[in-house]
Amino acid sequence: MNVLIIFAHPEPNSLNGVMKDLAAKTMRDNGHVVKVSDLYGMHFKATLDKQDFTQRKDETIFSPIAEQLNASGTGSFTEDIRDEMKKVEWADLLIFQFPLWWTSYPAILKGWFDRVFANGFAFDSSKDKYYETGLLRGKKAILSFTTGAVKDAYSKNGPHGDINELLKYIIHNTLELTGLEVLSPITIFGPSLMSKEKVKEELERYKERINSL
């Protein structure tokens, strides 16, 4: 299958970078074709703005959702957005690899969703195409991330609360909204507090999971 890894960590030698490389190698060893969008490496523009459109529907007021729908029809997104859309169209599986910052994606990945999962491309507000009729149906996605805090801190009685509640919301309202089938997330909790041996074990577990995809 065709696999797109969307990678969002500023340090290539971080654990997230290691996970991205391990996923790419494992997938390739299993005969899959892999592309990587290294958002930091690409200096991906994080901010959705007027400059995303080579042609405007309405020059008097900038409505992102209306301009995205128009650009999806006329092909007037800037090249960086079109390149990412082509990769998404090509892919059977999207792997998002990132550190959880402020209970969400790093801004550069949030901006990837803001700009690439555009109205008319990932969903269609004018034709009510969401969820079961989302425009990315038939493809799969998986969130793969690290956290700063340990696992217990993200439990129901931990200081940060049950992370599954958050994930349920993100998965449903971002990924499933576009029709993607979402596989259960891969998380390494608190790796910076782990021994090297424990991190190695976690990477083995990670590799097994990637192998099973």
Q: Is 46 a residue that touches its own copies (CB under 8 A)?
A: yes
Phi, psi angles (nearest 5°) of residue 52 = -75, -5
Which of 27, 118 has the CB closer to its own copies?
118
What burial letters (b/e) apply to 58-96, b meaning 16+ CB within 10 Å?
eeeeeebebbbbbbbeeebbeeebbebbebbeebebbbb
Which of 116, 210 has the CB closer to its own copies?
116
To its own copies, the closest distance from the beta carbon of 169 in angstroms equals 5
Q: Is 65 a residue that touches its own copies (CB under 8 A)?
A: yes
Residues numbered 139 to 168 that lie near its own copies (CB under 8 A) are: 148, 159-161, 165-166, 168
Rule CB under 8 A: choose which of 124, 130, 155, 209 binds its own copies: 130
Tell me, what amino acid is at 114? D
Say what the alpha-carbon torsion angle 24, 90, 78, 107 is, to the nearest 10 degrees: -40
Separation CA 210–CA 213 (nearest Å): 5
The answer to whether the beta carbons of residues 115 and 81 sit under 8 Å apart is yes
Residues taking part in catalysis = 148, 154, 160
Interface with its own copies (CB under 8 A), residue total 45
Rule CB under 8 A: choose which of 35, 113, 124, 185 binds its own copies: 113
Rule CB under 8 A: choose which of 83, 114, 124, 181 binds its own copies: 114
Which of 90, 169 has the CB closer to its own copies?
169
Rule CB under 8 A: choose which of 25, 29, 33, 47 binds its own copies: 47
Tokens read off for 179: 């029709």
Q: Provide the β-strand partners of residue 119.
A: 123
The answer to whether the beta carbons of residues 188 and 146 sit under 8 Å apart is yes
Give residues in contact with its own copies (CB under 8 A): 10-11, 13-14, 40, 46-50, 61-65, 101-108, 110-111, 113-114, 117, 125, 130-131, 148, 159-161, 165-166, 168-170, 172-174, 177, 192
